[in-house]
Chains A and B, each alone.
Chain A
Amino acid sequence: MKRIRLLIVLLVCSFALQEAFAQSLTVSGVVKDKTGQEVPGVSVIIKGTTTGVSTTADGKYSITVPKAGTTLVFSFIGMTTQEVLVTKSETVNITLDDAANTLNDVVVVGFGTQKRSNVTGSVATVNNKQLVQTPVGDLSNALAGRTPGVITKQPSGEPGADGTQIFIRGNSTFGGGSMEPLFVIDGIVRSGRDFGQMDPNEIESVSILKDASSAAIFGVKGANGVVLVTTKRGKAGQLSANYSFNYGFSQVTRLPDALGSYEYATLYNEAKLNDNPLATPEYSLERLEAFRNGTDPDANPNTNWMDLVLGGTAPRMQHNLSLSGGSEKVKYFTSFGYLNEDGLYSSLNYNRYNVRSNVDIQATSTTKISIDLSGRLENKLSPPANIDNIFEHTMRNPPVQPARFSNGLLAAPGVYPNPLALISEESGYNRNSANYFMSNFQVVQQIPGVEGLSIKGVLAFDRNFNHNKTWNQWVPLYARSATGEYTINSQSKSSLSKGYGEGQSTELQGHINYDRRFGKHGISALALVLQKQNQGTGIYGARNSYESSALQILNFGPALNEVLSDGEDKTALRSAAFRVNYDFDGKYLFQASLRRDESENFAPNERVGYFPAFSAGWLITKESFMQNAKFVDFLKVKASYGTLGSDRIPSRFGYYNRYNLVPNVYPFGGTFVTGLTPGAIANENLTWETSIKMDAGIEAKFFKNQLGIDVTVFKERRKDILATRALSVPLSFGAALPSENFGIVDNRGVEVILTHNKQISNNLSYFIGGNFTYAKNKIVEAAEASNIPDYRKITGRPNGGIYGYKAVGIFRDAADYAAFPKHTAYASTTGPGDIKYEDVNGDGIIDDNDITYLGNGSLPQVLYGINGGVNFKGFELNFLLQGAAQSQQLFTQNAAWAFHNGGRVNAEWLDRWTPARPDAPLPRLTLNTNGNNYLTSSFWTQNSSYLRLKNVEFAYTLKTKLLSKIGANNLRFYAQGQNLFTITDLINLDPENTNGIGRYYPQQKTYTFGVNLQF
């Protein structure tokens, strides 16, 4: 805090020194786009400085320049940057080209920007328009399908917890390390949630750094790729305001098709007879008839549990107001956002407030100060029962059990809890609130006398607080006797827990930047030092057996059986980096960088790591011999090579021989004593994972930029992966094994982008694009025991693969059963109608030694997106199709099996094996867990490839005189849909699901309507 105070004092001092600047020339004019439309908000900057203005709502600008010979730079995101040399005071009108037609726009890279044509690494961008087009609560969901190399999986649709897992170019670690990319917001590393919970209206652009040369500047943090977010900043000119509002509602993308009572009961009788041919049917003919006719539903319910819990629609709403403007001296951008998402049940709600204020102050002609403050407040209300518990019973309860009687009383449905009680507001609440405050102060100083040299200082200080309160109480449930009397369940006592946590982080950076051309030689260089410190602390308390709910505070509960715990942690990082770019004549491009990191997570002599990277590019179209190839507008080849690190490893202080505290380890004489238990054995040589990445690509534009093709091949070797030798050290060793840097994974693949756009007339244009990613990984070293048979080895196979029995069909009849080997464990219980397995090791029997590799698992190896749009006289239609292939999901329990744990039956079981239907796709029914059929096998492994309409938008922009009378520029109406349809072979669940039991809050399809008003 001391340091901040000092900085503020200094900032104030530097204001005091600010003085007026002598004026000499004035340039003014209008900026229009190719269609002749005025463009507001274009930035007009004096080259080599940060001084500038932006165009007004009608595209006009006026700027004062110090002297003749000054160059003005006109830039606008999505359009070509233009430079104009000023010789006298005059009117200069400019027409800017669309960026879609150009390669000269600027790309945000680590700690700087680069001209897109000069980028030699692999950097993908997603612009604000694409982000806003996707009405999602968590921004990570807006990245899916937008660019190649970004492999996404959205495992849940729960409001406030529906983030997408992002794997940049796939999964190359195992053993507990994370593949989460690094998220950097305006130059400061922040958490994935800080990114996900941003308001999209605050964001100017998102860059995704995928290869070594682009990410190496992030060193030990960069191996998983980097997501760089740049927020919007103010531009000089009159106040511009933007208000947007949208309202929508969500539904589950797909629900399992569970059988109703009549079919369920019919199958139940069949299953019971299968188990014991002498048994009496469970459901009499009269009862079956009653189910079919719906007679007396209290006695003969037909409950669709999934529908009751998840069948509704959940409203959502978003507001955003942003203001920007300022003078040449002070520019500002402020934004206020609000998001409110309801759950599919009323006890679930998520809301969020986002604020941001970015202020730029030109303190002197060479000093620029930026002060960015942002914050958010997240509130989440959910029922006290956890999601797993709610969905366990929603997935399981059979239709013949009542949920609610016709008199409105909630039912006690047989053996399992009633999920309607678990989600009821009567059951209590789980309230979470999290506050985040983030600040970022920057000072940029041009050094007079040395052209192109500047230095920058950055201080970022973040603080967050969160608390949770969970109150759990009894819900009255009723059982109905055969004669129609209701009895209430016995009352249970309530419980309360409260948790409180806070964290803070401080980051300091110092940069030296040099950027200058000497004739044909262009040089830019960056040197930086940074250090970061995070600390967090939390406390948690819980009491149970509350006799009353009168006071929902901890002191009100009995101290017996209370739980109390706390935690503290601190981390730190110190780094330095250097990067130099050189180009000759804009044709031959080179970049080299080196970063040095020091992390406290390792023993003092293993702390330092160096991460170098190199890349080069050749802009072939700049060569004279290409001048005749008129149809080729742009052609570049590039390659990069470098080393990165990942310190996202599972444990802290792995270099200590540690004894962990175990509270209440043993109750001697009825009183608990404290224990100390040995932790994993220390490894003083512990260090980070190392990633060696290679990347080569070609970028081309043809036919007046109407056709674009990018192809990139990449290869990564991730080594020093931290894992334990648990697969080769005998259990008789007895201790938790040290983490060691021995694992190796190879990952390789290809990315392709195709784009096409055409302006057919002034009023009509369209674009279409596609991106494709293929990434395949292979474990090279996992310290596997030497005598494991090849067909069961994980070495040489994809990371996270599925292993089990290979199902080769169903025993269709007695002859088939006699002819094939049976599983030894179930030799006496299997028969025709059961699943048969391949004898993988050829020993004539089926047993655990026949377990083998079945597939690469839930992370797809192929991902693609197709987006397109049409523009006609203010009407717009945009869509994004997104798909994935080469992935599998293993389903078990109630997500797959009939009558599991006394549970429901899915509709596909109508097509089960019976002696009369020997070729049915599913095995015979049983009420018990059928050991043979329910082994982990390819039978329950489904292909989870899919293609879905991720997003579609229809919009109309209104520009009338009426609007200008109220001071508005334009008004845009739109209707959007998210996940509207999905094509997949997978049954019952969403293909992005990763929960094999199906116990999760399902993915949502969303319909949204909105307006956007610009002043």
Chain B
Amino acid sequence: MNIKRKEMIKRYKWLVGVMVITLATFSCKKDLLDIKPIDFVSDAAVFQDITLTNQFVNDIYGSLLSGFERRDFGYDQDWARGFATLDMMTDDIEGHNDLPMNRVQAGDLNSNFSMGTQLWAVNYSLIRKANTLIARIDQVPTTNTALRDRLKAETKFLRAFAYADLVKSFGGVPLIITEQSVTDDLEVPRNTYDECVAFIIKECDEAAAVLLPSYPDAADLGRATKGAALALKARVLLYHASPLNNPNNTLSRWDDAAKAAQQVMTLAPATYDIHPDYYQLFMTKAGNKEVIFAKKFGRPNRTHQSAHMLHMSFSPNTWGAWGAFHATQNLVDAFEMKTTGLRPDENGSGYDPQNPYANRDTRLDKAMLMNGSAFKGITVGTFQSADLKVFPDGNANDRTNGDRTKTGYGLRKFIDDKNMTADAVYQGGDNDWIYMRYAEVLLNYAEAKNEFSGPDGSVYDALDKVRARGGLPPLPRNFTQGALQTKIRNERRVELCFEEHRVYDVRRWKQGMTYFNQPVYRMNIIKNTDGSLTYSKVVLENRVYQEKFNLFPIPQIERERNRKLTPNP
């Protein structure tokens, strides 16, 4: 290193620092800010690829709202999902003490009714997805046009299904069938009930024309079928013909409803039939010919909470059930005597008030737990001890258990006993929520046909097919039209109990003031010191109903956001 070079270094050594800094500062990447998302796909991509479109349709199925997912504590509060059901508004069920539902039972069905808001919000969310799909699917490039047509038809069914749910709850609702933009006028007024029904029927017909009665691939079980579209149409037409919506009793409406139901019945027995076991009906997923359309559940990812929230609470309580569900004596009294086919309160029924569960419609035992029921090796005791020194309280009525039975009855239907273990209960249940099943179609037919033209052989046959599963004898063929109406209505109550039919059936029959404005009863059982049991039916509480409750109130928060919505009375 010569002197001169050393001098140079000495003089300009500071330049090294400058170089370092410059390099550090400007060695930037040009595309630093060009970051692409990795965990979602864009809007455009979904409608460029039929596989992705198909996955969007999967999501629409996932949006279906079932009776296992009601939220009574605020429509967006997920923690209490499935703690209550809509049927807790009826004379069939008493719910948990903590439920806001108690307010409804006491006559306060107001516009803040959380399950009504949830029903509104969830269905409109599904409708928006469906609107998007229906508007754009025709442009999806694919050679599999059959799949594309099928997906569109399935989605049309799902949208009609959501509207049917809204219409039976609220009457006419805003009929939104295009994909709204944020800049549109979002304050859409209500369409009339008839406009909504006409739309649903049209969509059902269009879907039924494309869809097959069943899917060849078992992996597609649960998708909408031709039968589902026809059954939905039959149900909507039955509501359309009912007193609430048909004040002049236009008979042709009943005729339309009966014919629509009959269309489904033509698919039996190839596609549809009655499941032989009333309990297994709700557990069987594959090969269950009674199911027409259901919300599918599956472990571990899509489960419901009925197993621990609704199931009866025993002590020692090894599976931590909350005991939120208590069937009423009113409902138990609707189950007929097996031998006579008569209700306990009818003359000559053969009912023994001190042995009330003997010789009953076998569906009673499959739907409910009561004193003496066997469940997973335990005998349920709903009695209270006359003297605790002689006998302890029944295991479902333990005085130290806050979740003890309120009525003497718990839920068995829907409760999958294989999940009722300490380990499994909190993982949730995975039996499906059945929206439409063949027995309902038969009952829809029987009701519509009887209303249209009175009892005939086809009506009795339909009823007998349903009743036979409960071990009941065939009906005598001598009913008047009015007497058969009563019988059919009772049959719907029993056969479809807890499936959220009663809450709507009583309303559409305009019978709310009869059934929902009266006391509900519980069964009080005292275990005497000699071991014998004394049964007495006592009032649990008074229920309050008003005629205006026949439609749910339009949600308050929606009325605050959409000033064009007229309230329900």
Contacts and interface: CB of A to CB of B under 8 A. Distances in A.
B226 interface: no
B38 A443 contact: no
B555 interface: yes
A731 B180 CA distance: 12
A737 interface: yes
B33 interface: yes
Contacts of B102: 931
Contacts of B557: 731, 785
Interface stretch (B55-63, B84-92, B199-207, B364-372): B55-63
Contacts, number: 310
A671 interface: yes
A508 B220 contact: no
Given A458-B24, A733-B186, A828-B542, A668 B55 contact: no
Interface in A657-674: 657-674
Contact of B20 (A10, A572, A667): A10
B22 A730 contact: no
Contacts of A434: none
Interface string A679-711: 101100000000000000000000000000000
A contact face: mostly helix, strand, loop, or mixed: mixed
Interface stretch (A46-54, A195-203, A486-494, A613-621): A486-494
B563 to A, nearest CB: 6
A734 B106 contact: no
B120 A731 contact: yes
B110 A735 contact: no
A256 B59 CA distance: 47
A872 interface: no
B43 A658 contact: yes
Interface stretch (B271-279, B297-305, B445-453): B297-305
Nearest to A725: B182
A663 B110 CA distance: 37
A443 B21 contact: yes
B55 A676 contact: yes
Contacts of A143: none
Contact of B286 (A364, A367, A458, A670): A670
B58 A367 contact: no
B21 A676 contact: no
B182 to A, nearest CB: 6
A102 B362 CA distance: 93
Contacts of A489: 318, 422
Given A367-B16, A415-B317, A668 B220 contact: yes
A13 B28 CA distance: 22
Contacts of B17: 14, 363-364, 366-367, 443-445, 455
Interface string A363-394: 11011000000000000000000000000000
Interface in B211-229: 217-223
A2 B182 CA distance: 47
Contact of A829 (B35, B106, B296, B315): B106
Contact of A510 (B25, B97, B220, B555): B25
Most A CB within 10 A of own CB, among B24, B56, B556 = B24
Contacts of A400: 400
B21 A728 contact: no
B501 interface: no
B268 to A, nearest CB: 22
A17 B13 contact: yes
B103 interface: yes
Contacts of B286: 669-670
Contacts of A828: 106, 542, 544
Contacts of A910: none
Nearest to A458: B24
B270 to A, nearest CB: 19
A607 B33 CA distance: 9
B483 interface: no
Contacts of B316: 412, 479, 487
B13 A679 contact: no
Interface in B291-340: 296-302, 313, 315-318, 320
Contacts of B186: 729-730, 732-733
Interface string A816-828: 0000000011111
Contacts of B28: 508, 531, 574
Interface in B72-122: 97-98, 100, 102-103, 106, 108, 110, 112, 117, 120-121
Contacts of B299: 561
Interface stretch (B123-131, B145-153, B240-248, B491-499): B123-131
A847 B110 contact: yes
B24 A457 contact: yes
A3 B35 contact: no
Interface string B429-443: 010000000000000
B23 interface: yes
Nearest to B52: A676
Given A443-B20, A574-B33, A669 B41 contact: no
B423 A733 contact: no
B18 A658 contact: no
Contacts of B560: 785, 787-788
Which of A487, A735, A902 gathers most chain B CB within 10 Å?
A735
Given A669-B222, A674-B55, A733-B124, A455 B555 contact: no
B25 A659 contact: no
A658 B108 contact: no
Contact of B219 (A3, A10, A668, A731): A668
Nearest to B432: A667
A738 interface: yes
A659 B563 contact: no
Contacts of A675: 55-56, 58-59, 62
Contact of A734 (B14, B58, B125): B125
B401 A568 contact: no
B59 A415 contact: no
B41 A731 contact: no
A7 interface: yes
Interface in A413-455: 414-415, 443-448, 455
Given A567-B39, A568-B38, A3 B62 contact: no
B221 A668 contact: yes
Given A658-B40, A826-B106, A901-B402, A734 B20 contact: no
Contact of A731 (B315, B402, B555): B555
A88 interface: no
A386 B456 CA distance: 63
A456 interface: yes
A845 to B, nearest CB: 10
A569 B37 CA distance: 8
B421 interface: yes
Contacts of B24: 3, 7, 443, 457-459, 508, 510
Contacts of B25: 457, 508-510, 529
Contacts of B427: 561
Contacts of B423: 492-493, 545
Given A7-B20, A672-B301, A825-B106, A733 B128 contact: yes
Given A731-B561, A788-B560, A929-B98, 6 more contacts: A19-B13, A574-B33, A653-B40, A659-B40, A672-B301, A734-B131
Interface of B: 9-10, 13-14, 16-29, 32-35, 37-46, 52, 55-56, 58-59, 61-62, 97-98, 100, 102-103, 106, 108, 110, 112, 117, 120-121, 124-129, 131-132, 173-174, 176, 180, 182, 186-188, 217-223, 285-286, 296-302, 313, 315-318, 320, 392, 399-403, 421-423, 427, 430, 542, 544, 555-558, 560-563
23 contacts: A17-B13, A366-B17, A367-B17, A415-B320, A445-B18, A459-B24, A509-B25, A533-B29, A657-B43, A660-B39, A665-B61, A669-B217, A675-B56, A676-B55, A677-B59, A731-B120, A733-B128, A785-B560, A825-B103, A829-B106, A848-B112, A901-B402, A902-B401
10 shortest interchain CB distances as A-B pairs: A734-B128, A510-B25, A902-B402, A457-B21, A667-B298, A445-B17, A657-B43, A675-B59, A669-B221, A825-B103
